[in-house]
Structure 1
Amino acid sequence: MALEERVEAAIAAAVGFGLGPDAPPRLAQALPYAVTPGGARIRPTILLSVAIACGDDRPGLSNAAAAALELIHCASLVHDDLPSFDDADIRRGKPTIHKAFNEPLAVLTGDSLIILAFDVLARAAEDAPGRGLGLIRTLAKRSGMPDGICAGQGWESEPTVNLSAYHRSKTGALFIAATCMGAQAAGQEPEPWVELGSRIGEAFQVADDLRDALYDAETLGKPAGQDTVHARPSAVTELGVPGAIRRLRDILSGAIASIPSCPGEAMLADMVRAYAERMTPVAPAAATSPMRARA
């Protein structure tokens, strides 16, 4: 099975756990709506790539980890789009959850996806409790406080923002989870994989800042110019467009150098190079790649 198909199958199976004949119908509709279409699925793809590079001796556990990570990411998007945060009308080219359903259901959808993510991991952990517990702890750490994605959202309410800490938690945290959880699912220690995830995450955030500044809403599949509208910290604001592009390239070069020794090291280096090409901004008129537009 191709990696893309494996990711989608794992996510579909995970969402299935959250549905049932007695579930509230509209909330049951909102869960799959929130996770499809899935954009680039970068985080679960990185997770499975690391697991494969490390041996992937328990693919069922790797699949569950990939699905759980994507559910957390999708939940964060649902909450980010709420009127109390970005008040966005469009996500991945279609109405956001609070527009397609309503605001209470959007809150419940995000909450349900978070809980479902940990349920999926707990189910898969029965055959490998030690690895499963480590995966649950890593996902929890990178989702909450003090340095997970909740912390990243929290930085937007502070009068003074540490840009590095903001990027590391808001975006980098789930990329760190991707590399560490991929290693853990394959029975490896997660710590050596933190730097790779951190660098990919920082690069992705810088690229996102550039897309937000350079592209329009049609290209992005979501509102553009949100960093300026919400006065959020941005690599473009701090460094300018040329400086942000240089920073992006420097980060990705460091990411390749940080890959730990493993059987699939060369494959992972190729993966990072591919992401470097896709993330580097192009002229807005040519920015039509789905990965650029809907990650």
Structure 2
Amino acid sequence: MAAAIRLGQGQGEAPARLAQALDYAVTPGGARIRPTICLSVALACGDDRPALSDAAAVALELIHCGSLVHDDLPCFDDADIRRGKATLHRAYSEPLAVLAGDSLITLAFEVLARAGGVAPDRALRLVTELAQRTGMPGGICAGQGWESEPKVDLAAYHRAKTGALFIAATRMGALAAGQDPEAWEELGDRIGAAFQVADDLKDALESPESIGKPAGQDVAHGRPNAVTEMGVAGAIAHLKDILSGAIASIPACPGEAMLAGMVRAYAERMTPVHHRTAAR
């Protein structure tokens, strides 16, 4: 990620504040869950082109970070805090936030293109995969677009807004390792669905300090969410069902046990803090 940001900043010819904003947008890095999943799948599949797998993971995270910068803008969430610090538009200005988000998204495809020489056929498929999960009709842009519709398809909304990059993570890991991505889509879909439900629960139940961003945003913005649809108990039960299905969906591969352990670890982290405490 550090090397990618240096690439995006150039050799001193770029506008200084925008160059600084790129680093600000990806630091600190959060959990880096999507690239971790991508690399884990690649490793489970053999990972015979590690430079390409690394590039795929970095590109995925750059897209995610760029989307967060845009999500926080006044025209969307109008958030003041992200990952425990001021959102980029608060720290650098709204115009620079738009440009930084755009720059991170385009940088993602440059990173993939530069790494593509080791396996051009795989790299082209990775570019296509990332583009489809970023834009329309079913990528994260579509997910944001659902919030402007008078009637929302909750499943399509969650699959696009949150699930798209998790599906990209599992599929791109397989692609980078030269394997069929179709077998890995269900795992990404289920992990993405689980993270969306967990995010809805945290937004409803936890404090801004514990999640590092404003809470209560779904209610404030009238967004569809699992807690409103199912209640807290129903959403938690649904989360557990999704994660059980995720483990069952892992394709047979040398790293199957490792991936199952990773999903179980994420399950613990995704369960709301007060519910984990009560369960103990």
TM normalised by structure 1 equals 0.92
1:96 aligns with 2:84: no
Shift of 1:282: 2.3
- Match for residue 257 of structure 1 among 248, 264, 268: 248
- Equivalence for 1:200: 191
Check the 8 A contact 1:48/1:62 in 2, yes or no: yes
For structure 2, the 5+ residue unaligned runs are none
Change over 3 Å in CA distance of 1:265–1:112 after alignment to 2: same
- Equivalence for 2:239: 248
- Match for residue 150 of structure 1 among 141, 159, 162: 141
Cα distance in 2, alignment partners of residues 91 and 284 from structure 1: 24
- Equivalence for 2:9: 19
Percent identity over paired residues: 75
Residues 232-284 of structure 1: per-residue CA shift (max 9 Å, x gap):
00000000000000000000000011111111111111111111111111218
Amino acid at match of 1:277: E
Secondary structure of 2:231's partner? helix
- Match for residue 80 of structure 1 among 50, 71, 75: 71
What pairs with 1:96-245 in structure 2 (closer than 5 Å)? 96-245=87-236
RMSD: 1.3
Amino acid at match of 1:68: A
Cα distance in 2, alignment partners of residues 25 and 98 from structure 1: 16
Secondary structure of 2:180's partner? coil
Check the 8 A contact 1:121/1:132 in 2, yes or no: yes
1:282 aligns with 2:273: yes
The number of residue pairs the alignment matches comes to: 277
Cα distance in 1, alignment partners of residues 252 and 276 from structure 2: 40
- Match for residue 33 of structure 1 among 15, 24, 45: 24
Cα distance in 2, alignment partners of residues 41 and 125 from structure 1: 23
Amino acid at match of 2:72: D
Cα distance in 2, alignment partners of residues 204 and 23 from structure 1: 36
1:52 aligns with 2:77: no
Check the 8 A contact 2:49/2:118 in 1, yes or no: no
Amino acid at match of 1:15: I
Shift of 1:285: 11
Shift of 1:86: 0.4
Cα distance in 1, alignment partners of residues 133 and 77 from structure 2: 21
Check the 8 A contact 2:44/2:256 in 1, yes or no: yes
Amino acid at match of 1:170: K
TM normalised by structure 2 equals 0.97
Moved over 4 A (4+): none
Cα distance in 1, alignment partners of residues 222 and 46 from structure 2: 44
